[in-house]
Amino acid sequence: MNDSGQIVSVELGSRSYSISIDTGNVAQTGVLLRTWLNLAADRPLKCFVVTDTNVLHPHANAVKKALTATGAEVRVVCVKAGEDSKSLKELSDLYDELVDFKADRKTVVIAIGGGVIGDLAGFLAATYARGLSFVQIPTTLLAMVDSSVGGKTGINHPKGKNLIGAFHQPVGVLIDIDMIATLPDREYCSGLAEVIKYGVIMDAEFFSYLENNIVGLNNRDPDVVAHIVARSCQLKAEVVQEDEFETTGLRAILNYGHTYAHAFEALGGYGALLHGEAVSIGMVCASRLARKLGRITDEDVKRQIELLRAVQLPVDVPETLQNRPDDILNCMLLDKKTVSGDLKFILPDRIGHVETIGGIDSQSVVACLS
């Protein structure tokens, strides 16, 4: 299967955009950008590129080169890699840079990096001069399949992740599969957890494709990676198209495994488990919960565990967390998605389909930690 050169459309009326997925297409950044902006080749273009210290060489430099080649004026600002950069301080420094760059309403903000850079630069674009055009060039697997699609942007507050944010859709997303080559193994595998999630929540056939392509997944076979990125983007786009602003409840299905995962991340101290690793363990717990409630078979649980294991993802709750069931429950009750103490979970009724289930007793929830 070859999905290089794919375009996935996100249909959101006047906010519609394309996701261009290919190998080596970073060289086309300038041309694509002008197409997305409907801007003739001889018109001036100012680009404000935000990246991080791990992505600057070679990826952000390649973007800069491609933009400069089409006559754009480019400023690259590099922030420290890591979640700590999703802060008010970093955002404030970026506003200063935009002022210094003499940015105007036509300046385009380009995020090149993982989800941290996408969220930070996206929020910058959402808020500066009441909104600048924004382009995502995701460089982690997680950002390619999840955070760069859907328009959620934001930064962290010391008291909570993503507490300050806005919906701001990009004008386009450019995914160059070649950029995955420099990604550390742990980060790559972490992204695979979200890919597997799409299979469980929406697409049984895709789940089977993943089961049948373990070697390609583990070797980062370009055709396999291009296919999983394209299919994941399509599935996320379908959900976002139906529930852009998270009002109908449909978008919540993307949180499969995440109620457990958020508790593991918070208690493990952000950073001990990567997000995808926590989601992997969270999906195992949620599938056990679905089994306990008689919604799925033992075989459906086993298939998820085996697939996650096969791509080197953790599937067991760390012992330090298993011994803290009360803390885990408290974290879940404090979760902003929990309403008046009713623990809600996204649970499968088969591979490829999930539903939101409320009124689950806390004993069952903690029983599924092991």
Q: How far apart are CA 358 and CA 88, in angstroms?
A: 35
Q: For residue 49, what are the β-bridge partners? A: 76, 110
Q: Should residue 150 be labelled a site residue for ligand NAD when binding is judged by CB under 6 A?
A: yes
Question: Contacting ligand NAD (CB under 6 A), which of 90, 187, 265, 300?
Answer: 187
Name the residue with the smallest CB distance to ligand NAD: 115
Our separate counts of H helices and E strands in the chain read 15, 11
The verdict on whether 242 is a catalytic residue reads no
In whole angstroms, the minimum distance from the beta carbon of 212 to ligand NAD comes to 26
CB atoms within 10 A of CB 159: 6
Q: What are phi and psi of 73, to 5 degrees?
A: -90, 125
Measure CA 175 to chain center: 13
236 annotated active-site = yes
Could you tell me the smallest distance in angstroms from the CB atom of residue 144 to ligand NAD? 9
Interacting stretch for ligand NAD, rule CB under 6 A, among 63-71, 141-149, 211-219, 264-272?
Answer: 141-149
Among 19, 74, 142, 301, binds ligand NAD (CB under 6 A): 142
Residue 196 CB neighbours (<10 A): 28
Q: How far is the CB of 118 from ligand NAD (least distance, A)?
A: 6
Tokens at 174, concatenated: 């450019």
- Verify whether residue 251 is a known catalytic residue: yes
Residue 236 interacts with ligand NAD (CB under 6 A): yes or no: no
Question: What is the smallest separation between the CB atom of 276 and ligand NAD, expressed in angstroms?
Answer: 7
- Exactly one of 115, 170, 172, 314 binds ligand NAD (CB under 6 A); which one? 115
Q: How far is the CB of 223 from ligand NAD (least distance, A)?
A: 19
Query: Quick one: angle between helices 258-267 and 275-292, nearest 10?
Result: 130
Binding mask 42-71 for ligand NAD (x = CB under 6 A): ----------x-xx---x------------
Structure token digits, residue 117:
């850079």
Task: Pick between residue 25 and residue 140 the one whose CB is nearest to ligand NAD.
Answer: 140
- Closer Cβ to ligand NAD, 81 or 214, answer by number: 81
Asked if residue 183 binds ligand NAD (CB under 6 A), the reply is yes
Q: How far apart are CA 317 and CA 331, in angstroms?
A: 15
CB of 258 to ligand NAD, least distance (A): 10
Identify which of 30, 59, 57 has the alpha carbon closest to the alpha carbon of residue 45.
30
Interaction residues for ligand NAD, span 72-91 (CB under 6 A): 81-83, 86
Count of residues touching ligand NAD (by CB under 6 A): 28
The reply to whether 182 sits near ligand NAD by the rule CB under 6 A is yes
**∠ CA(100), CA(104), CA(106), 5° rounding?**
135
What gap in Å lies between CA 46 and CA 74, rounded to an integer?
6
Look up 344 and say whether it is catalytic: no
Q: HSE-up of 32 (CA within 13 Å, CB side)?
A: 25
Collapsing DSSP states into helix, strand and coil, what is residue 219?
coil
Asked if residue 108 lies in contact with residue 45, where contact means CB atoms within 8 angstroms, the answer is yes
Alpha carbons 107 and 45: distance in angstroms, whole number: 7
Residues of this chain that bind ligand NAD (CB under 6 A):
52, 54-55, 59, 81-83, 86, 113-117, 119, 139-140, 142-143, 146-147, 150, 152, 162, 179, 182-183, 187, 275
Catalytic residues: 130, 152, 194, 236, 246, 251, 255, 258, 262, 275
